[in-house]
Amino acid sequence: MAVAPRKKQRVTIYDIADRAKVSPATVSRVLHGSLHVSSGKRDAVLAAASALNYRPNPMAQDLASGRSQTLGLLLPDMSSFWGRLVRGVETGVREHGLHLLMATADASDGDRRALDLLISHHVDGLVIAGGALLDADIVAVATETPVVAVNRSLIGREDCRVHVGNFDGAVRAMRHLIDLGHTRIAHIAGPLSHPDAADRRDGYLSALAEAGLPLDPALLIESDFIWRGGLVAMETLLSAGREFTAVFASTDQMALGAMLALHHRGQDVPADVSVVGFDDEAFSAYCCPALTTVSQPLFEMGQIAVRSIVARVNGQELALPSFSAPLCVRESTGPAPGRDARVVARRGA
């Protein structure tokens, strides 16, 4: 009968103390970074720990410090849009020697259940991106756990919010189109209950007013942030026979959906219609034509969110900036057609 191999026992501070000829208390002080240890004893402890291939017990460290050494990240979904934010958060937690626990919403009540899951794991802080959670629910959590909200409102705790200048970014996009000679510009807005979508819509309206161009309510249509939302919105505009030579979409995904609808109707981008998006997702530079878009520095936003949480855990404060949103001009925008030229839907096409 085969005998199961004995499980290798974990090296303890007592083993290190015995090898280094010091007390277990001295080993503990060295391993926790205390300065109140002579250099000779510190060198002996570190050498013994290395020789014994010592690996600290994370659970024991957590119990000793009263912290989980874990940061929670709550996302509304796993769409490509959030990829750069995730990488920024991952970089931030590595900088501080933390672990990352991520959860996503997967149903109508998914945000609440995902939040409860993260809290149940006693995370030291939370990054909450987008989503449908009520501001009041997040503010309630923030009274006990450091929270940073990304790309969403947080009424009552605006100091815990990191966001991009959506209004200014939209104005830049519109000024670009207006400078190209476009005067009939459609806007495919995101859900206007979302603060980012509302700010981008307001930037659209402000740029029109700044240029002395009248608002045509028929050119402003609300839709979803995703690909299909842009496609359906553009089909609606074209089927209704609306006249325009450019469109500013609230997201890159909506912009690509709109470009597909234009392609189906035989309209060329940008010869017939110029298109601008918002977000600068990874695919935007590689679609055909490459998409002119407003860039969101999501990687940097993720990093600063983590740094802010770590500062609060350590009893400090780190102000959260509002990030600028520069315009990336690519191939999907061009001069407006001749003064009398207008994009008119070919009904039934």
3-state secondary structure of 162: strand
- Alpha-carbon gap, residue 188 to 236, rounded angstroms: 11
pLDDT at residue 211, as a whole number:
97
Question: Domains, the chain, ranges and CATH?
Answer: 68-163+298-323 (3.40.50.2300), 166-291 (3.40.50.2300)
- Alpha-carbon gap, residue 287 to 269, rounded angstroms: 12
Mean pLDDT of the chain: 87
Amino acid identity, residue 317?
E
Cβ atoms of residues 92 and 302 within 8 Å: yes
pLDDT, tens only, 125-174: 999 998 888 899 999 998 889 999 998 888 989 889 998 999 999 999 99
Q: How confident is the model at residue 8 (pLDDT cuts 50, 70, 90)?
A: low
pLDDT at residue 346, as a whole number:
34
- Alpha-carbon gap, residue 86 to 75, rounded angstroms: 9
pTM for the structure as a whole? 0.76
pLDDT, tens only, 91-119: 999 988 889 999 988 655 678 888 888 98
pLDDT, tens only, 114-126: 888 898 888 999 9
